[in-house]
Amino acid sequence: MDQAENLRIMMQKKDFVLPHKLPRLISITSGKGGVGKTNIVVNLALALAKLGQKVLILDADMGLANVNILLGLVCPYNIEHLLSREKKIEDILVTGPGGINILPASSGFLEMGRLPESQQLFLLNELEKILAAVDFLLIDTAAGISANVVYFNLTAEETIIVITPEATSLADAYALIKILFTEHRKNHFTILVNAARNSQEAEGVYQKIKKVVHHFLGEPTLEYLGFIPFDSRIGEAVRQQRAVLDLFPQTRCSRYFLEVARLIKEKKTTALAAKRKVLFRKQGLFLSLGEKEMGGEN
């Protein structure tokens, strides 16, 4: 039984209610590693915080935890301690720059997609305890098309796919979109181009992936969020284990991070919510699945 089917069965077993406050749940993902995805998650989280938003990062790369490393944070506990019932969720949360909160993963831990249903439900239940206090939950998925990646992208209401001008990045992003659309009927994706030299190159990259997706898959909708320019200060920030927006707030890429965060914050989601089945598990996580996943239209 695949992960999406497990998720559907889990949802059908419980009653659902809409909470008074729904956080924006966004997965940030990529078809291949090395595109700067985690760096983007960290800096967008900080940018959103600077815009007055309360942000929680879920490091969903269970095998290669990187968020805390990028920020130079010491995490005595992580999600492994939560799932083993050794610690409560408030014990493993770590506060980063700008007041952003991080739920750290561990390296070499079993993929979320392979956890038994009881562990999945437990994690969802624990997340519910803190989601009401945040405006955005940013999920930093692993790269690729593993069950881990599929699981968290299906869980998210919005999915941002990070690509670079490299041909391999485009090819792997297409593969990820294909899996999520053809096997799980997820049909809306937001594209963010990283490390582009200028807006013309970034828009060209977006047009390439859009053309390929529409030619071979037809239905999926791709939305262009913008781009983050190549900036040598990003590498310097990584070496110092700081967010570039924190260390070099006036550099070019930092200004672009703030602009992209502003676009995300101001994005209208009312129309999307009206067309999609938005559910909040009484025992767990805010879930937004396309109605085709539930037997209707996505």
What percentage of the chain carries pLDDT values higher than 70?
Answer: 79
CB-based burial, 77-104: b 16+ in 10 Å, e otherwise: bbbbbbbeeebebeebbbebbbebbbbb
Q: What is the mean pLDDT of the chain?
A: 83
Residue 101 pLDDT level (bands cut at 50, 70, 90):
very high
C-alpha to C-alpha distances, 36 to 24, 178, 196, 203, 227, nearest whole angstrom: 22, 22, 12, 18, 12
Ranking 15-29, 35-49, 118-132, 284-298 by mean pLDDT, the lowest is: 284-298
Element (H, E) at 212: helix 199-216
* pLDDT of 191 over the 70 cut: yes
**pLDDT score recorded for residue 281:** 35
Domains of the chain: 3-284 (3.40.50.300)
pLDDT higher than 50, residue 3: no
Give me the amino acid identity at 194: N
Tell me the pLDDT band of 11, cut-offs 50, 70 and 90: very low
Q: What are the tokens at 40?
A: 């983007």
Q: Give the least confident one: 5-14, 21-30, 129-138, 249-258.
A: 5-14
- The listed range with the strongest mean pLDDT (5-19, 52-66, 208-222) is 208-222
Kindly report the pTM of this predicted structure.
0.84
Calpha distance 71→73 (Å, rounded): 5
Evaluate if residue 167 carries a pLDDT over 50: yes
Would you state the pLDDT for residue 22? 72
In whole angstroms, give the CA distance from residue 211 to residue 173: 13
Q: Which helix (H) or strand (E) holds 124?
A: helix 117-131
Provide the pLDDT for residue 285.
40
Report the pLDDT value the prediction gives residue 159, as an integer from 0 to 100: 97
Q: Distance of CA 238 to CAs 48, 96, 162, 241, Å?
A: 20, 15, 18, 5
pLDDT for residue 4 = 37
Give pLDDT tens digits for 233-283: 999 999 999 999 999 999 999 999 999 999 999 987 643 443 333 333 333
